[in-house]
Structure 1
Amino acid sequence: MSDESPLIRSLRAAVAAAPDDVPLRLHFAELLLAEGRNDEAVTEAAVALQHAPGDEAARALMVRAMGLPQPPAAPSAPSAPSAPTPETPAPTPQPPSDAPATTPAFDWDAAEHEVGDVVGPRFVEQPLAADGSGDPGDASAWDVDAPGAVRLADVGGMYEVKERLEAAFLAPMRNPELRKLYGKSLRGGLLLYGPPGCGKTFIARAVAGELGANFMSISLSDILDMWIGNSERNVHDIFETARRQAPCVVFLDELDALGAKRSRTHHGGLRNVVNQLLTELDGINSSDNEGLFVLAATNVPWDVDIALRRPGRLDRTLLVLPPDAAAREAILRYHLRERPIEAVDLGKLVKATEDFSGADLAHLCDSAAESALLDSARTGTVRMIGMKDLLGAAKQIRPSTEPWFASARNVAMFANEGGMYDDLLAYLKKKRKL
């Protein structure tokens, strides 16, 4: 402020450099009060009280800055009366007052309200208890999405995946009469696996939409806790919340992290998480879990604990492969819908993006847009995104599914116990990747 004295400016800078120095702040407030800046003095006194609650000097300064009457001083102890002398006659007794005057007490609630918009609370979170209770990760904090509008019809292409979902999972759930006839309960578990970026999470949401069920998406970060025993409690609380919200789909993302093989896990906490997960999944066949569906997704099913895939748990599997031609066209249309494009041949682009994942296709559209943007910036003439940009991006991007198939090939050929990877073997033979 230009009208401030050099002393005020110096003290303001000193207080900013040492905000916890209460005596310095009170000295600064005294100077502000002496210059008639009562509002600023009130603010400084309030901040001082935030750092030193109950400080008498800060309270007295705030009273003066707000122009309120000073509270009465504490009465001193009465001394023994002295005997009257001829020089000092005894005082004449005064009649008692009917209504002695009293100084009103300082209203701290009113003062706090007055400076509430100037000085915010120092702490906005409740402290954790010794066992970690009070953590925002408690059961009441789990997000449960209402039945969404996403259906399998919104998944472009991928007809084989939809047919297998319908036959193995959805048809029994949609037909209560047939379920009753064949003794099929309204519950189940399904494991989606395949290369990354191919839409496993989107398919899980579409399944929840088909069932008209609530949706909970759970990852490792939602479960792990620094306190011993809390991770297992989180797993239990998640399933309890889902039971209360039934019908509900619990989607366990990255199951290889949540349910890694216990023989390879050296951390006791992670092993306990797997054990608790097994306990909850065992309840899928109980009446308490009616209307509870557990879907899980992983890129590396061979790293998932085998106990999780025992019959009665996640016993059904579905291979989610890279999007087919129809799905790639739908994905490309989606990512180009709001971009300035010109003369784009989607058929040619779809052929040039075989084995691309959905994430790869999104990256392709971003790269093509970046190419057109940079060219427009260099030439000074804005132009549309064309086939040259899109095909150029397609040539530069290597499908992210290739490393996955390289790893999955050996597993499918030499570790296909029980025919779990028969679908993957059939796809590899079809694509001549064996």
Structure 2
Amino acid sequence: MADDQVLTDMLTMLDRRPGVLALRVCVIELLIERERYADALAHCGTALGHEPGNAQVLALMMRCTTALSGGSPAPAATSMAAPATPASGSAAAQPDFDWAAAEDEVGDIIEPAFVHGVPTEFVTDGDAATVERPSLRLADVGGMSEVKQQLDLTLLGPLRNPELARAFGTSARGGLLLYGPPGCGKTFIASAVAGELGANFYPIEITDILDIYTGASERNVHSIFEMARRNAPCVLFLDEVDALGHKRSQMQASTTMRTVVNQLLTEMDSATHSNEGVFVLGATNHPWDVDVALRRPGRFDRMIFVGLPDLAARKSILHYHLRDRPVAGIDLDALAAHTDGLSGADLAHVCTSATQLAMADSMRSGEVRPIGMADVRAALAQIRPSTGAWFESARNVVEFANGDGSYDELATYLRRMKRR
């Protein structure tokens, strides 16, 4: 039907440009007309994330919660997109949404960055993937002072002071491997490094490389490095390096993956390629599974451990995930003090769970209730640290596979955290 097609078209456009509030309000009103209150309520939450406290969206949310709780939804408030009341017997009128104006509006919107909430510019290179230019800086990363200090010493310092670096016979050539438990901000830090350098940011995952056709994966690796070289200065970020560059001694049955590792070694080797201005950062949860040749000098020859968020980082993460949601009486200092041992992903899960509890209560009562400390405490009672298995593996590596001292930093961290 034509009416349903209008809604479909709006939803399609909203997928492309999620930040256009006027378009989302129209979608919410259409969903309410069709009595799809749960879908409308989800869009209300997203809209409030973009513009907290918007009176129009809050009114629409109240209509949804009232309907879901069994009451009769209040009549629609007049809005800039609300249609006139249809004549008796006529089809329901659709919101008179100005599509051309919407296209003009979205043209001025900057897409969300690889790190959420960070404005980003984009650089395109033919049919290649998109390279990002984040405005995030290390100062925007809460806490983690030891990680920042090591980044400044091993990478940023030599790049900012090239003459001094040459005088001491050092440089920032080669690659830097960030490792640690999952969900602790390695990707976030890599983006901040790019922003600190004023460089392009090119994030790559294993799915961007692997291909079912023979030789295609190796060509993908080469194309990725070529694009990074063309867009220098560029931070080439390789996520899940242990999956991409797994130990070849353990891959006798997989010829394809062995050749991918060989190609990666070739691209990172300064003897075969000039990677001037290309700073290769890798991230892995299991550095002990990375091929030893990838960790020799000139490749990933430096490692930095990224552990669980400290007190300042936890407070920053909690603030980020609650900042666009209706809250009341939240004590971030108290929450940060009582969430030691949780990863950044765990903290995000706590905030999401607390939000769901408050929303469920709002749907039952028919009134919007903000998220409070009771919701967060209830969520914390249900969530356990997700990194326990990782620390068990890390402890075994420190005990039995640290003969060359590669994991001394990890050993010190485990002792300090009393995990040994």
The two structures share one fold, judged by TM-score above 0.5: yes
Tell me which residue corresponds to 1:309. Answer: 295
Q: Which runs of 5+ in 2 are unaligned?
A: 1-124
Q: Secondary structure at the match of 2:131?
A: coil
Tell me which residue corresponds to 2:187. Answer: 201
Give the TM-score of the pair, scaled to structure 2: 0.68
Q: Secondary structure at the match of 2:134?
A: coil
Tell me which residue corresponds to 2:250. Answer: 264
Alignment length (residue pairs)? 295
Separation (CA, whole Å) in 2 of partners of 1:282 and 1:229? 20
CA displacement at 1:183 relative to structure 2:
4.1
Tell me which residue corresponds to 2:403. Answer: 417
CA displacement at 1:213 relative to structure 2:
1.2
Separation (CA, whole Å) in 1 of partners of 2:127 and 2:244? 20
278, 283, 304: which is aligned to 1:292?
278
Separation (CA, whole Å) in 2 of partners of 1:146 and 1:366? 28
Tell me which residue corresponds to 1:408. Answer: 394
CA displacement at 1:233 relative to structure 2:
1.2
Alpha-carbon spacing, 1:186–1:423, altered in 2? closer, same or farther (3 Å): closer
Matched residue type, 2:321: H
CA displacement at 1:182 relative to structure 2:
3.2
Q: Secondary structure at the match of 1:418?
A: coil
CA displacement at 1:380 relative to structure 2:
2.9
Tell me which residue corresponds to 2:153. Answer: 167
Separation (CA, whole Å) in 2 of partners of 1:140 and 1:256? 30
CA displacement at 1:198 relative to structure 2:
0.5
Equivalent residues in 2 for 1:365-380, closer than 5 Å: 365-380=351-366
Give the TM-score of the pair, scaled to structure 1: 0.66
Separation (CA, whole Å) in 2 of partners of 1:214 and 1:338? 28
Tell me which residue corresponds to 1:363. Answer: 349
CA displacement at 1:286 relative to structure 2:
6.9
CA displacement at 1:287 relative to structure 2:
7.6
Matched residue type, 1:209: G
CA displacement at 1:147 relative to structure 2:
3.0
384, 388, 395: which is aligned to 1:398?
384
- Whether contact under 8 Å (1:186, 1:291) holds in the other structure is no
User: Quick check: 1:276 aligned with 2:263?
Assistant: yes
Alpha-carbon spacing, 1:166–1:220, altered in 2? closer, same or farther (3 Å): same
Matched residue type, 1:263: S
RMSD: 1.6
User: Quick check: 1:428 aligned with 2:414?
Assistant: yes
Tell me which residue corresponds to 2:163. Answer: 177
CA displacement at 1:290 relative to structure 2:
1.2
* Residues 372-381 or 169-178, more deviating: 372-381
Separation (CA, whole Å) in 2 of partners of 1:300 and 1:186? 24
Choose between structure 1 and 2 for higher RCO, CA contacts under 8 A separated by at least 6 residues: 2
Q: Secondary structure at the match of 1:242?
A: helix
- Whether contact under 8 Å (2:132, 2:202) holds in the other structure is no
| Identical amino acids, percent of aligned pairs | 60
Tell me which residue corresponds to 2:129. Answer: 143
**Residues 269-292 of structure 1, C-alpha deviations (whole Å, 9 max, x = no match):** 100000011111112x67821111
**Residues 87-144 of structure 1, C-alpha deviations (whole Å, 9 max, x = no match):** xxxxxxxxxxxxxxxxxxxxxxxxxxxxxxxxxxxxxxxxxxxxxxxxxxxx943334
Alpha-carbon spacing, 1:323–1:313, altered in 2? closer, same or farther (3 Å): same
